[in-house]
Amino acid sequence: MRCNCPMWSNGWPNDNSESSTSGAFVLFSYLLMNKTASIELINRHSFLTIFLGLFFLAFTTTESEAQDNPFELEPYPFVNQGLNQLVIPDSSLAYQQLFNKFTEVGLKGSGKVRIVHIGDSHLQADFFSGHFRKRLQTFFLGAMGGRGFIFPYKVAGTNNPLNYSVSSTGVWESCRNVEKERNCELGLSGISIKTLDTNASIQIKITDQALAGYDFDRLMVFHTFGTENFALKIKPSNKIKLVQAFPEMGYTLFEFNQNLESVTMELQKQNETQKEFTLYGLNFDSNDPGIIYHTVGVNGAQYESYLKCDYFVPHLKVLNPDWIIVSLGTNDSYTNVFDTTVFIKKVDSLLQYIKQAAPNAAVLLTTPGDHRIKRVQVNAAAVRASEIIKKQAEQKQLAYWDFYSLMGGAGSMDAWRAVGLAHTDYLHFTQKGYEYQAQLLFVAFLKAYDDYMLRELQLKP
């Protein structure tokens, strides 16, 4: 994995760093290890205030131009900045382990933080999740751990994220977890594409190469197995050093002898029994340390939509997440007949699926934003759904981020629309709005990380 970080390589200063970089790193490391010095500073400043000062010192360019302030937020008056926090149970061992992993990546350039973000149309385009991914990976410099899990939405006839391009040949038919009547099996992605065409192929190119490339040397292809399935071929075949199938987990692993930015998936009929092939998703990974952020989103998805996914649990288990973020509830509440009892059962069932797949992962539930039904009626059910999500988090000792209250509560979508943060449907945000939402979540994460590091420094003997 290439890293074009100006002065940092895998979390450590390199030999070409300016002296200020090394000085900042040494001072920061010293503060982490020296309780007396740390507490003396912390009496006057927060951990991240100190860190941020060192951050700017370390990452000032040779032309003395500082990097963007990661805490900077547009001060919109309708946003309740005081409510921007991750509400985490004090006794959460999962979040302690998560923050420790972030520290390992950020300070030592070792290990990997694996994040899975599950949602609906707010995630399928990857504006919200994509910007949050970038904020995490560029704050912890050298932490570009790979692009992660994707689906070739374009082949299914729906909108594709901008950070990877997709082209295909042959005839494919799609199936989604939001369809009322379906005759297909689904995986974690909540969407699948099937072909009976041996001439079918898919090419995927990772196009987002900002700061550090999302090139990869490992590829997991999640697909059907069995005697009726076409054989899977990946090009460039001369770059493959290992192919290993895991039919019980539903994927084939390809390892390459160099970093790649694109692959082509082809199918081969090897005997008369082979008639079809179904794709559930792909995971672009690398052996390098860092942060890998997987996004799963289907337009129109509700909590129950992912309960229809036959391989949700095994696929999620394969990704082995440290942090699972669930951003659902908008479509559940987008109705005039919202049933709280039914909604509670749906939320509870999906959380059981998640616990089964990743029992040790930290989990964050986010509440849906304010919106209007058919551009007219402010949706009163949105606040009820938000309260249920928060209560479920509290009962299950999970964390939550109350975006509904943070964005301004009932009717606040009007204010977001007035400044260009929301679309004219009063349901979705603009790209600018999603990026602002991601920055809010990023700052809330930094606050939580700050609180944890403060406690760690104060508890060290």
What is the pLDDT at residue 139? 86
Over residues 113-142, mean pLDDT: 93
What is the pLDDT at residue 36? 52
Mean pLDDT taken over the chain: 87
Q: Does 444 share its domain with 300?
A: yes
Query: Over 80: is that where the pLDDT of 287 sits?
Result: yes
Query: Over 60: is that where the pLDDT of 53 sits?
Result: no
Over residues 192-199, mean pLDDT: 97
Q: Which two tokens stand for residue 221?
A: 């292809």
- What pLDDT digit, counting tens, does each position of 61-80 carry? 443 344 466 667 888 999 99
Asked whether 87 and 399 are in contact (CB, 8 A), the reply is: yes
Q: Does 344 share its domain with 412?
A: yes
- What pLDDT digit, counting tens, does each position of 201-245 carry? 999 999 865 555 688 999 999 999 999 999 999 999 999 999 999
Over residues 16-27, mean pLDDT: 39
Number of domains in the chain: 3
* 128 part of a folded domain: yes
Query: Over 80: is that where the pLDDT of 412 sits?
Result: yes
Pick left, alpha or beta for residue 361 (phi over 0 → left; psi -120 to 50 → alpha; otherwise beta): beta
Q: What is the DSSP letter of 209?
A: -
* 77 part of a folded domain: no
Sign of CA dihedral 285, 291, 296, 299: negative
The three state secondary structure string of 308-366 is HCCCHHHHHHHHCCCEEEEECCHHHHCCCCCCHHHHHHHHHHHHHHHHHHCCCCEEEEE
- What pLDDT digit, counting tens, does each position of 350-392 carry? 999 999 999 999 999 999 999 999 999 999 999 999 999 999 9
Q: Does 404 share its domain with 327?
A: yes
Give the range with max mean pLDDT: 47-56, 213-222, 394-403.
394-403
For residue 250, the number of C-alpha atoms closer than 13 Å in the C-beta half-sphere is 25
CA separation, residue 369 to residues 72, 144, 186, 378, 402 (Å): 22, 29, 28, 11, 9
What is the pLDDT at residue 108? 83
- Whether the link from the prior residue into 236 is cis, omega within 30° of 0, is yes
Q: Does 68 share its domain with 117?
A: no
Asked whether 75 and 81 are in contact (CB, 8 A), the reply is: yes
**Where is pLDDT greater, at 221 or 42?**
221
Asked which of 41-55, 171-185, 259-273, 422-436 is least confident by mean pLDDT, the reply is 41-55
- The rounded distance, in Å, linking the Cα atoms of 320 and 115 is 9
Asked which of 52-61, 186-195, 286-295 is least confident by mean pLDDT, the reply is 52-61
**Where is pLDDT greater, at 459 or 33?**
459
Q: Does 334 share its domain with 429?
A: yes
Query: Over 80: is that where the pLDDT of 51 sits?
Result: no
Q: Cβ contacts of residue 249 below 8 Å, gap of 6+? A: 314, 315, 317, 318
Q: Does 141 share its domain with 184?
A: no
Residue 351: which CATH number? 3.40.50.1110
Q: Give the closest residue to 403 by CA, choosing from 370, 449, 381, 434.
A: 370
Query: Over 70: is that where the pLDDT of 417 sits?
Result: yes
Q: Does 227 share its domain with 293?
A: no
Over residues 10-17, mean pLDDT: 37
Residue 197: which CATH number? 2.60.120.1360
Domain C-terminal end among 41, 72, 103 = 72
- The rounded distance, in Å, linking the Cα atoms of 456 and 32 is 9
Q: Does 295 share its domain with 441?
A: yes
Q: Does 2 share its domain with 115?
A: no
Q: Which two tokens stand for residue 12?
A: 């450590």
Cα end-to-end distance, the chain, whole Å: 38
Query: Over 60: is that where the pLDDT of 166 sits?
Result: yes
The domain in which residue 258 lies consists of 153-285
What is the pLDDT at residue 400? 99
